[in-house]
Chain A
């Protein structure tokens, strides 16, 4: 059974850098999946942040691209998110998710972490 588990500070100071890690259990980070971050501000909808593949490819939401970095740590079977220059608008629940290939050109986020709340405040 594949599971994802987010971890990281629950409080980040304004203008600081948000750093989260997603540990992968029951699957290899080097499998043919993409590894994603999604966030959800309190009471609002889902926003895709970006994704990475173990080969080093990344794709980011254009609205966040200048501040985001997502990377893979093969030795620890995990991937990470860094979001710089944070403001109160970055306060949200952050989810990691696996983007799984079901068939040729058929992909979807089949496994999600439970989410971790990050508050940006001084």
Chain B
């Protein structure tokens, strides 16, 4: 079973800053199944990135994804107030989906 480890657990930042979130897989995984989600309090997760680097419909271009193998990154080029949330990476291997434990981006 593949384990996704996100780091750091929490980031304290200010609007306008650039942020890089990490998701590391316990073994090499297919990029096509790697996704990133944003979740705000009392809301459902929202798909940001699929296939490791493709933005979902309606997602601003300040969000970008990259990586391959075991190391994947979500970058927010310039934090907006509405970007403070928890971010999860997500992957499927052998028909089993796994989430990372999440990174909280706070003010």
Contact = CB atoms under 8 A, between A and B. Distances in A.
B2 to A, nearest CB: 12
Contact of A108 (B35, B43, B44, B98): B35
A113 B43 CA distance: 9
B68 interface: no
Interface string B39-65: 100011111001100101100000000
B45 A61 contact: no
B32 A103 contact: yes
Contacts of A114: 43-44
B90 interface: yes
Nearest to A48: B97
Interface in A37-60: 38, 45-48, 51, 59
A59 B19 CA distance: 35
Contacts of A95: 44-45
Q: Do most interface residues of chain A lie in helix, strand or loop, or is the interface mixed?
A: strand
Given A107-B92, A109-B90, A114-B44, A48 B99 contact: yes
Q: How large is the interface on B (under 10, 10 to 19, 20 to 34, 35 or more residues)?
A: 20 to 34
B30 interface: yes
A109 B47 contact: yes
A51 B92 CA distance: 12
Contacts of B51: 102-103, 106, 108
A110 B39 CA distance: 13
Interface string A23-39: 00000000000001010
A110 to B, nearest CB: 5
Nearest to B97: A48
Interface of B: 1, 30, 32-33, 35, 37, 39, 43-47, 50-51, 54, 56-57, 88, 90, 92, 95-102
Given A48-B97, A108-B50, 8 more contacts: A45-B102, A46-B99, A46-B102, A48-B96, A48-B99, A95-B44, A107-B32, A112-B45
